[in-house]
Structure 1
């Protein structure tokens, strides 16, 4: 058997496969994996948001009225408010005018909407009785009822708080199918305050999880290849330090909100009942830290421009040529 018969069929293809995604340089070995993972997370969050569009619309007035009449009979909840979109910012649908709100500190107000109603004045019966009756009715109607969350506070009847009053607030959560009920029952007796408020909204649709997982994997692989190419493109060339510095800044801006948000949200989930997890993007600190994300993206684009424009450092051999 000759040597030509035992040689690889396509040696250039093998070399290409070995080079694909290979970080070049000590700094790149650190930031390429970080960039690939965080970009995968962002891509997964975007895919999960797209999958949210397969959700059923939020309950309309007829559906909400049927549920609230069944759970809270005899309570005047007034007019039922329906949301303008699946996700809202301060109760309004996302539009160009709300981008400033998202970027400058109020990104956390981008939340899933809900259909709700409120009853004002003093409760007609003790608040504890309202909670007990509501839980019994929900259980009987096939809802999964979670443990109530009780908190105490002090309310003032006037601005000088001459007659402080102890008030107990009870949060009630239940789920049936893809519909979640959140209700708050208060023992307050002020005429202009609410003693009962209830909201109905949808749980995440089934496609949210697989879309998020697939988006994360594909985004991480594509980002590994892209950032690996950037590191190899600048290997031995002028501007390599600037490229590493820009991407390093981007990694800090992208990872910091993630590292802060994950433990906070995890503690929040463990501290009170949640029929559904918070959306994927909130675990990444988005869009609360959307300004951080935007500045980081600009840094990556500048690094990409520098990588494309870099030239090899002149060596004695190339100068002689």
Structure 2
């Protein structure tokens, strides 16, 4: 019998592609997608799909019992830029949803949890280049504070209650299939869309703001890999650093211009610049590569080719 998986936040930027990937591996009927509202998209229409509020413990517990869930992927969260506009709700959603699934695992109602962290856990005092796995963490954003607190709770529940919770610190994620979701790294998605539709793009970060990035396919693969890894391979129960490439808006623009030479990019930094400045420029993820054999497939060149190809074939056809 296949294991049953619940994805909370399945209609989000990562949740959408994660749902498709897990259904391809485990079978559609074994992966229950859920979100706070029913959108008209592939995830909802391919069923099983349930409307669920990640802040409602009883709703989550009911679904776990109804479907005999063994693994939960908690993807519901308010992202960096959005969280700055609504700090109290961001804290409530990002923290209490995590407590709900940790407590279900503590009560032995589920066996395994995936919870995503982020490079937002680092702050202005963190070493910017090749940021180590263990380093100074003084996040200066609402999102970062909630993610760092979440990491501490994950480790605590593992150490004290034996909860099998696994986590990675996602860098900026680039995907063709879902629109930007309110993150500071979203310029690197938007620029591809505007390059194709308008031939020009106004970037909300300064031209030399370097940040760690990853193509969504790699992030999804890493998520599957860490969950499939043997328990003894997972040495870190807070969250693993994860990396693939780092670039500036200037560099990604130049890469796109190899394919769309007339693309014009201007720069008008807004409140997100301050968030970006507090984050690392590059990440040392040697521990993930060593412990569970993480390796990325895409770099800036191959990702650019793939993004433009997929957008032209699937979005702007």
Same fold (TM over 0.5): no
Task: Name whichever structure is richer in helix by fraction.
Answer: 1
Which one has the largest radius of gyration?
1
Q: TM-score, with normalisation over the residues of structure 1?
A: 0.21
Q: TM-score, with normalisation over the residues of structure 2?
A: 0.21
Higher relative contact order (CA 8 A, sep 6+): 1
